[in-house]
Amino acid sequence: MLSLTMTQLIKTDLPTILLPWLIHQGPLTDKLRREAGVARLQVLRQQWHKPDWWDKYTLQLRTDTVMHREILMWSASHPCWYARTILPQASYLHDPGFFDRLNNETLGKLIFANPRVERISLTHYPINPQLIEYYWLTAAMHGDSQQLWVRKSRFVLDGGLPFFLIEILLPGLERACM
């Protein structure tokens, strides 16, 4: 029986311009402002619901309710990345005031340089139309690109309460930073 890994299923030619974005340790928004001059956040959705298949099996979430906050980051007229914050209810209930700040602030302002928050992992991988993450996007976002790159971060608040940030780099990022 033939067994294929994800990297064998997906062409993994990583454009050189994207590597610094995929491994960047700080807020991508600040990097975008430095390189392109402008960054604008658009909140697409923020809602509580039952964990979906991806939450359960990819993140191993065993909770009744999660919040998904979905945003699109723009530079001028270029959509640069889509991001989904996934917040388990128990993490939110630990400090609702902390997470309610998302109504007025970016996630980056909340978490970076905050001693209460620690990034536990940062990984990146390619996606294509065979993977569910691709379908979180609209056609206007992915522009019919057959391969995109994802950053997946796991954070903990106060030493153990997890939340996640999934960022999908879009073709507009390369155009904005040329």
Domain holding 126: CATH number? Answer: 3.40.1410.10
**Count of domains forming the chain:** 1
Say if 8 falls within a structural domain: no
Say if 149 falls within a structural domain: yes
Say if 111 falls within a structural domain: yes
Question: Which tokens hold the place of 119?
Answer: 């990034």
Read off the pTM: 0.90
Closest to 67 in 3D by CA, of 83, 38, 47, 90: 47
Task: Confirm if 87 and 99 have CB atoms less than 8 A apart.
Answer: yes
pLDDT given for residue 15 in this prediction: 81
Go through the chain and tell me how many residues it has: 178
d(CA 134, CA 142): 8
Q: Which residues have CB under 8 Å from 171's CB, separation 6+?
A: 142, 143, 145, 148
Residue ranges of the chain with pLDDT lower than 70? 1-12, 178
pLDDT given for residue 12 in this prediction: 62
Say if 170 falls within a structural domain: yes
- Strands ordered across the beta sheet of 66-75: 40-49, 66-75, 78-88, 161-169, 148-157, 117-127
Residue-number span of the structural domain to which 147 is assigned = 18-176
